[in-house]
Structure 1
Amino acid sequence: MPAAGGATDQLTFGVEEEFLLVDADTLLPAPRARAVLDRTAASSAGHDSGFHHELCASVVEAASAVCATLPELGARIRSGRAALAASARRENARLVSVGEPVLTAAEPEITATDHFHRMRESYAGVVTDQELCGCHVHVGVPDRDTGVAVLNHITPWLPTLLALTANSRYRHGADSGFHSWRMMVHTRLPAATMPPWHASAAAYDADLARLVDCGMVEPGQGSLRVARLSRRYPTVEIRIGDAAATVAEAVLYAALARALVRRALDDLAVGRTAGPLDHGVLDCALWAAARHGLHGAAVDPWRERETRAIDLLDALLAHVRDALDDLGDAAAVTALAAAARGRGCAATRQRAAAATGGAPAVVRMLGAETVAGVRVPDPPGLVDSVRRGGGR
């Protein structure tokens, strides 16, 4: 996404959404990203989102433009999904927002770029499981030192955001037992963990340089941690969320991420810095969120004990209440959070779908949720075909 910076009273943000392409007939991952993106580029001149390749040729990304308000971001998310879903239909594919493929038949095809092929060479067999989709939120910060201090503040809350967005229950057609299997797969990569506490941007950069020196990260690339400073933009990049099944869930996640940054900036403005917490406990909190989701057990990283994820969500909402008020997001977030509390995370809905129709029903449910409330143009000729009695 383009750069997003600015003062705290105009805290800009944007979202990068990754989606899986599945064959419309078999529901298996479909390596058609190049064709889908070519169609999207041809039909979306002047579009306010950017569309990109990812590691696997079955995954595409929509990156919103910089937004100042929650309604604006929601509109950008819907338009990005609409553009990709329309192009996918023309390639006999469906756009599915899910953290991990529900059904798989073969090792994923790697996108043909030098960078992605170097990843395949460096990480070997681990890459064969990295057919993953996340939702990344960028929030503008004034400078890198402030960004590091913000990361220190928001890190303990990241597992709660994962519990809220968990959307990868199934793998190879079977129930993994985890609400976010994507996170368990992601953390197999080098240093793909919770962000360590850093005293300054210099310390943060020295840590990244060590990863490069150890051969774990390419020079010029950012770390693989679940939140980081963007290497390209003046933003904090919160990467912990699974791909959001619905537009509403993407908007809620982005709103809470921005509110956490706003609260951190407000605390820093009055001299309240965040001290380090035990990194082992933070990793336990991440694991518990991936395992149990929103309505299960969690780890309180401050008290270093088991608690309930839903209680941590309530604590998060209380923590950012003033920030939400200042940003004008309080009413929307209150309603969206209440809906999430009632419906559960998408992984919970996946189990319910599987109980009635197995893994294929999970893919169909997620495909429908991905474009729910999104106006997706029909492929050319479809209307005439239907009028003549034809079908898809």
Structure 2
Amino acid sequence: MDADSATFGVEEEFLLADPRTGAPVPKNVEVAQTAAELGFDLQLELTRCQVETSTTVHTSATELRDELRDLRRGTASCAEKNDARLLAVAIPPTIPRQFPITDTPRYRRMSVDFGMLAHEQGLCGCHVHVGVPNREVALQVSNFLRPWLPLFLALTANSAIYRGTDTGYASWRSILWRRWPSAGPPPYFGSVRDYDAMVAMMLSSGSIFDEKMVYWDVRPSMSFPTVEIRVSDVPATVEETALLATLVRATVLMARKSLAQGRNAPPVTAEVLRAAYWKAARSGIDGDSVDPVDGRVRPAVEQLAKLVEHVEPALEELGDRTLVADSITAVLARGNGAIRQINAFRERGDVDDVIAELTAATLQGCQDRKPRIRWA
């Protein structure tokens, strides 16, 4: 795999909140319309309290980071024009009055078919796409990515406070999200035929009603020639999102090198992976983790160091080694979104402090450069 062809992009989901109370507000249609009038697209999510941004395709991590900054700044401006605040948070910290469903035929059907599961959403994630030549490669790469999914979750955890309460978890979104019958880590697939058979079974059982509802945390994209990694909470800052995307791309590159050398992904059982997921959601990046490959419990920062060592050849080839080292140092020193939420909440037990912390984090670094697009 040529590093120059290692394309990637990012989708980030955001919460729209009342600027006075921090409660979710159903204004995604209005915010998206304002964005359209200014010349850029926002996607509507399941609930009217959410919007999603999508970057263009990049080969440079720094250019990806710059576009993420532009998108956050522009979307925040559009939210402000509609008396809303943009929050990079994976679940609402306050007690929501409601999560009205976005009025599209597909989302209305989800409301009918899945009941309260759809109405209790308001969950915001981050999806990283990395270019691959075909679905077969996407599935084989997915097998290599499975053991690292809990670490990616721990690194970006950003949903510790929910409904005005310290959940005791770094990523409560991860716990809630896995209630969907098609969510969580995928099985280990030997072929496209096996994958298609599993999806056909889910369709026939009614656990999904179309292939877009295959919500596994790594999957072949339904829309692009990419492998899509969906495990992450939406990170609190652009720096964390860019770090996640850069590590994911390097991990995909290493997987493809292994495939080219005729090596298969390590077999990790669903039971071990489930335990590693729970530990990542519970403890986050500043606690212990379970290594899905050998079953050992070790500090999550040691598991992160293990990943960086594993992908170092790819980072060197891509020119991303310094960016990753600097970003990891900054995130561990400052704390990721979950740590920042917990610290803000525990000081006074006031969710307003959490909202203030998240507001600052959402646009942190986004004013450091002249925007490529004039948003107002």
Normalising TM by the smaller chain, what interval? over 0.9
- Map of 1:26 onto structure 2: 21
C-alpha deviation, 1:130, in angstroms: 1.3
- Map of 1:332 onto structure 2: 323
- Within 5 Å, give how 1:192-271 maps onto structure 2: 192-271=183-262
- Paired with 1:162 and 1:55, the residues of 2 have a C-alpha distance of 22
C-alpha deviation, 1:7, in angstroms: 5.0
- Map of 2:361 onto structure 1: 369
Q: Does structure 1 conserve the Cα–Cα contact (< 8 Å) formed by 2:10 and 2:129?
A: yes
C-alpha deviation, 1:247, in angstroms: 0.8
- Paired with 1:331 and 1:105, the residues of 2 have a C-alpha distance of 41
- Paired with 1:329 and 1:309, the residues of 2 have a C-alpha distance of 22
SS in 1 for 2:215: coil
TM-score by length of 1: 0.91
Residue type at the aligned position of 2:345: A
C-alpha deviation, 1:271, in angstroms: 1.0
- Within 5 Å, give how 1:1-392 maps onto structure 2: 8-43=3-38, 45=39, 47=40, 50-357=41-348, 358-375=350-367
Q: Does structure 2 conserve the Cα–Cα contact (< 8 Å) formed by 1:22 and 1:95?
A: yes
Residue type at the aligned position of 1:137: V
Q: Does structure 2 conserve the Cα–Cα contact (< 8 Å) formed by 1:89 and 1:379?
A: no
C-alpha deviation, 1:343, in angstroms: 2.2
| Unmatched tracts of structure 1, length 5 or more | 1-5, 381-392
TM-score by length of 2: 0.95
Q: Does structure 1 conserve the Cα–Cα contact (< 8 Å) formed by 2:74 and 2:375?
A: no
RMSD of aligned Cα (Å): 1.7
Partner deviation per Cα, 1:300-334 (whole Å, 9 max, x = no partner): 11112322211111111111000101111011001
- Paired with 2:113 and 2:47, the residues of 1 have a C-alpha distance of 15
Residue type at the aligned position of 1:63: S
- Paired with 1:329 and 1:114, the residues of 2 have a C-alpha distance of 42
Q: Does structure 2 conserve the Cα–Cα contact (< 8 Å) formed by 1:13 and 1:137?
A: yes
Residue type at the aligned position of 1:306: V
- Paired with 1:310 and 1:287, the residues of 2 have a C-alpha distance of 17
| Unmatched tracts of structure 2, length 5 or more | none
Q: Does structure 2 conserve the Cα–Cα contact (< 8 Å) formed by 1:16 and 1:135?
A: yes
Residues 1:378 and 1:12: Cα distance change in structure 2 (over 3 Å): closer
- Paired with 1:89 and 1:193, the residues of 2 have a C-alpha distance of 34
- Paired with 1:299 and 1:147, the residues of 2 have a C-alpha distance of 25
Q: Does structure 2 conserve the Cα–Cα contact (< 8 Å) formed by 1:181 and 1:290?
A: yes
SS in 2 for 1:66: coil
C-alpha deviation, 1:57, in angstroms: 0.3
Q: Does structure 1 conserve the Cα–Cα contact (< 8 Å) formed by 2:12 and 2:127?
A: yes
Residue type at the aligned position of 1:264: A
Once structures 1 and 2 are overlaid, which stretch shifts more, 371-380 or 303-312? Answer: 371-380
- Paired with 1:191 and 1:53, the residues of 2 have a C-alpha distance of 21
- Paired with 1:14 and 1:207, the residues of 2 have a C-alpha distance of 27
- Map of 1:3 onto structure 2: none
- Paired with 1:292 and 1:356, the residues of 2 have a C-alpha distance of 20
Residue type at the aligned position of 2:148: W
- Paired with 2:375 and 2:267, the residues of 1 have a C-alpha distance of 53
C-alpha deviation, 1:378, in angstroms: 11
Between the two proteins, the alignment pairs up a number of residues equal to 371
